[in-house]
Amino acid sequence: MNAIGVENLNVWFGKGRDRNQAVSDVSFAVRTGESFGLVGESGSGKSTILRAITGLVPSWSGRMEIAGIALGKARSRQFYKTVQMVFQDPYASLHPRHSVDQVLGEALKLHGFRDVDQRIERLLKDVGLGPAFRFRYPHQLSGGQRQRVAIARALAPEPDILLLDEPTSALDVSVQAEILNLLTDLRAENGLTYVMVSHDLAVIGHMCERLAVMQAGRIVEEMTVEDMRALRSTEPYTKQLLESSLGYTRET
């Protein structure tokens, strides 16, 4: 069964000369328990697709399904118990005047958990933050520490589907390894489904089975991770992307 089905999705912003077609005729499906990657050009619509699924874009057309049920305009609380998103920008996604304790406490209470205290401790531990961080405010955290709080908040309602928008690009590699291992374990233990956006192809290779490559609002190619590793691709854009991922070379 498919956890996520997207068919002919279009998303646009603005009108007149400022109309911007951010996503054009995008279709893909993610099976339950699968981990699916979205990669591609900056500004190509990756975040917008995830935001459309979570109900955060004003104008779209096409069809989106979660566990076989079509999504309409609004999203219910039950939806957010099933689907959670980790946002690309850890600065914008945390309320500046809410402590870590408040952020996690509210997420837990909203979804009806009682043992809030223990769960907060558990969540912090899972994302590699000690209890000392519990009463800090966002401005007292480094970039990576904020992102870990955002991940903990997404895990709070114990969702089935996680939409991860560059979840580790603000993290150093050792914390990245901890978070990726945690995500791997959670998926194995609870059969979670992931859609993961990353510009780091090695991270996608580590986490996903299949991926879609995007450019200018469209999916130009869908491929397996084995194909990506072997640099097997038919599309010129994908080829270019895979080649640049081999590393930076100086001009001089």
Ligand X SMILES: Nc1ncnc2c1ncn2[C@@H]1O[C@H](COP(=O)(O)OP(=O)(O)OP(=O)(O)O)[C@@H](O)[C@H]1O
Write the binding mask 11 to 30 for ligand X: x where contact by CB under 6 A, - elsewhere.
Answer: --xx-----x-x--------
143 binds ligand X (CB under 6 A): yes
Which region, judged by CB under 6 A, interacts with ligand X, from 24-32, 41-49, 112-120, 220-228?
41-49
13 binds another protein (CB under 8 A): yes
Note every long-range contact of 119-127, with CB atoms under 8 Å and residues 24 or more positions apart, other chains counting.
119/156, 123/152, 123/155, 123/156, 124/100, 124/152, 126/152, 126/155, 126/182, 127/151, 127/152, 127/155, 127/178, 127/179, 127/182
Which of another protein, ligand X, Mg ion, none does residue 89 bind to, with CB < 5 to 8 Å depending on kind?
another protein
143 binds Mg ion (CB under 5 A): yes
Is the separation of the CB atoms in 12 and 21 below 8 Å? yes
Burial of 236 from C-beta contacts in 10 A (0-12 / 13-18 / 19+): exposed
1 binds another protein (CB under 8 A): no
Is the separation of the CB atoms in 144 and 176 below 8 Å? no
Gap between the terminal Cα atoms of the chain? 53
Which region, judged by CB under 8 A, interacts with another protein, from 43-51, 55-63, 65-73, 108-116?
43-51
Residue nearer to ligand X on the CB measure, 158 or 200: 200
> How far from chain centre, in Å, is Cα 185?
17
Q: Which of 19, 77, 125, 139 binds ligand X (CB under 6 A)?
A: 139
Between residue 135 and residue 154, which ones bind another protein under the rule CB under 8 A?
Answer: 135, 139-140, 142-145
Between residue 193 and residue 252, which ones bind Mg ion under the rule CB under 5 A?
Answer: none
44 binds Mg ion (CB under 5 A): no
